[in-house]
């Protein structure tokens, strides 16, 4: 367990960016019921914790020796983090629209030309990977070379790992949900019963609702 993973996990818990609701699960867009949720849009309101994340990104870039020319963020939640990282590293940044505009160039890429550029994609959260890889496709359609994606955290779903591998993109995350879970328990955010319920979800999120007899 790396120091960065622990520091980022604790930062997210401190500001309520990661929450736990084992008795009132939420439903993801994919239909998966979850006893945990993430809202990293809270980070810019908390500069100290946000600095922990941005410094974590900088360390990941250095440690993994990720070569890039431009940093990109997915509309909208990824943009603050990609822009802050780019500003910190004094590198160009762009953002990727979820959908193309119905006028002008109709490109999904805003901010500058990425043709022939190595682009590092930055995400706040990876669930199934669909949004991130749609952004990769848009960047590649505009001539960019995209081989790496940085994310604050991922749910660790198997389908996401498979999707990134199929797209030939390496996903780098600052922390993981098992680290968050351990830190939340240590910080007294829930008890042993809640810990086991959430740990059970992490082991198999698709079958969790049936095992826990959760009503949708």
Give the CB-side neighbour count of residue 53, counting CA atoms within 13 A: 35
Q: What is the pLDDT of residue 29?
A: 80
Distance of CA 200 to the CA centre of its chain: 21
Q: What is the pLDDT of residue 80?
A: 97
Q: What is the pLDDT of residue 161?
A: 95
Q: What is the pLDDT of residue 214?
A: 63
Q: What is the pLDDT of residue 209?
A: 82
Average pLDDT value for the chain? 93
Q: Say if domain 3-212 classifies as CATH 3.40.250.10.
A: no
Q: Note the pLDDT tens digit of each residue in 43-94.
A: 999 999 999 999 999 999 999 999 999 999 999 999 999 999 999 999 999 9
Kindly tell me if the per-residue pLDDT of 102 is higher than 80: no
CA-nearest of 82, 4, 101, 3 to 40 is 82
Kindly tell me if the per-residue pLDDT of 215 is higher than 80: no
Number of Cβ atoms within 10 Å of the Cβ of 151: 24
Q: Note the pLDDT tens digit of each residue in 107-143.
A: 899 999 999 999 999 999 999 999 999 999 999 999 9
Q: What is the pLDDT of residue 106?
A: 77
Q: What is the pLDDT of residue 104?
A: 66
Q: Which helix (H) or strand (E) covers residue 149, if one does? A: strand 145-154
- Provide the whole-model pTM: 0.93
């Amino acid at each position: 367990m790396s120091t960065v993973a622990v520091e980022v996990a604790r930062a997210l818990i401190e500001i309520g960016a990661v929450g736990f609701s084992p008795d009132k699960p939420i439903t993801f867009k994919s239909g998966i019921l979850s006893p945990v949720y993430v809202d990293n849009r809270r980070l810019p309101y908390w500069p100290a914790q946000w600095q922990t994340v941005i410094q974590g990104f900088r360390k990941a870039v250095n440690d993994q020796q990720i070569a890039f020319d431009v940093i990109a963020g997915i509309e909208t939640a990824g943009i603050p983090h990609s822009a802050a990282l780019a500003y910190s590293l004094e590198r160009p940044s762009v953002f990727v629209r979820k959908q193309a505009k119905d006028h002008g160039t109709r490109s999904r890429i805003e901010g500058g030309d990425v043709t022939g550029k190595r682009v590092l994609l930055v995400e706040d959260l990876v669930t199934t990977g669909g949004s991130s890889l749609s952004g990769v496709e848009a960047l590649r359609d505009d001539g960019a070379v995209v081989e790496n994606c940085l994310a604050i955290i991922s749910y660790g779903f198997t389908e996401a790992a498979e999707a990134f591998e199929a797209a030939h993109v390496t996903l780098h995350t600052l922390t993981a949900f098992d680290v968050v879970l351990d830190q939340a328990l240590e910080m007294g955010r829930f008890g042993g019963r809640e810990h086991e319920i959430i740990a059970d979800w992490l082991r198999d999120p698709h079958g969790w609702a049936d095992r826990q007899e959760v009503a949708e």
